[in-house]
Amino acid sequence: MNTTRTINASIVTYLTPPDELKKLIASLERSPVHRIYVIDHSPDTSIKRCLEGCDRITYHHEENLGYGRGHNYGIAASVDSGADYHLVVNPDVYWTDPVVESLADYMDANPDCGLVMPKILYPDGETQYLCKMLPSPADLIVRRFIPVKGVRRRLNTRYELRGFGYDTPMEVPSLSGCFMFMRCAVLRRVGYFDPRFFMYAEDLDLCRRIGAQSKTVFYPKVCVYHAYAKGSYHNRRLLRYHLNSTFKYFNKWGWLFDSERRRRNRECRRHIADVNNKQ
């Protein structure tokens, strides 16, 4: 294991269940993470009690200005301190194997990679399909509201890249924000999360900017567990955030005319076909 590299991590919390956060902190403490930035957007600081005893933690309580802006506090601290890698991770994620070490080793061996994500599983071991193409308006809007399940299923299968089985490392245009292991040198060039996205699509936007300068890779040789729930599907306030971010994303990158989206999605589909032909 390379002991000279510096790896930091950031977690944004908002009324996070203490037991959930403790599980993640335990995973991080078993890993070679140097500094853990906990950015707490909760109305009070009660969550701070469950962080006692870990001298790697920097706790920061602030007004809730959004998921991306919260993580920018930790990312900026990592970049400014000269860290090699920064991990953005959701508080409902945990793992048991040496995930961080494996991802850092992969990045060390592949300097053209700016972002890597492990395989993401539900706690029961089922795969979460979080590798995606760059979305069209149909992918983010139509499939959310279309009433015909068969059509929605076909859209999801294509958009979520289910055709390659999620068992082979490959370059993917869009990776989930629940676990983003990033190279700080690339973040210095492309910037951090766009603070205009309060919640949702900020990971897509950053992944896209990283992908314009380096590889964004799915690495299923290691996995983490994610107690994921589609909150915006059941909560009107979160749905408003989701739709607002979707409109901001397409206003920024283009609704119908997006040549980069077409090119990168075409390359991804071609790569999947090559992988499937070799199996």
Instruction: Catalogue all structural domains in the chain, each as residue range(s) with its CATH number.
Output: 7-278 (3.90.550.10)
Distance CA 187, CA 24 (A): 24
Distance CA 254, CA 262 (A): 12
Contact, 121 vs 128, CB < 8 A?
yes
- Residue 232 pLDDT: 46
Contact, 182 vs 114, CB < 8 A?
yes
Contact, 182 vs 209, CB < 8 A?
no
Contact, 54 vs 25, CB < 8 A?
yes
Low-confidence ranges of the chain (pLDDT < 70): 1-3, 142-149, 151, 229-234, 279
Tell me the β-bridge partners of 115: 182, 216
Of the candidates 57, 36, 66, 54, the residue with the CA atom closest to the CA atom of residue 177 = 66
Model pLDDT for residues 201-217, shown as the tens digit of each residue: 999 999 999 999 999 99
- Residue 216 pLDDT: 98
Output the six-digit token pair for 196.
């205009």
Distance CA 168, CA 279 (A): 10
How far, CA to CA in Å, does 222 sit from each of 40, 170, 204, 218? 28, 14, 22, 10
Of the candidates 3, 12, 71, the residue with the CA atom closest to the CA atom of residue 34 = 3
Output the six-digit token pair for 220.
């299923």
Contact, 3 vs 72, CB < 8 A?
no
- Compute the C-alpha angle 216/221/225, nearest 5°: 90
The model scores a pTM over 0.75: yes
Output the six-digit token pair for 254.
């283009």
- Residue 263 pLDDT: 95
- Residue 144 pLDDT: 66
- Residue 71 pLDDT: 98
Model pLDDT for residues 79-134, shown as the tens digit of each residue: 999 999 999 999 999 999 999 999 999 999 999 999 999 999 999 999 999 999 99
- Compute the C-alpha angle 205/5/10, nearest 5°: 40
Distance CA 209, CA 192 (A): 9
Residue 222 phi, psi dihedral angles, 5° rounding:
-130, 155
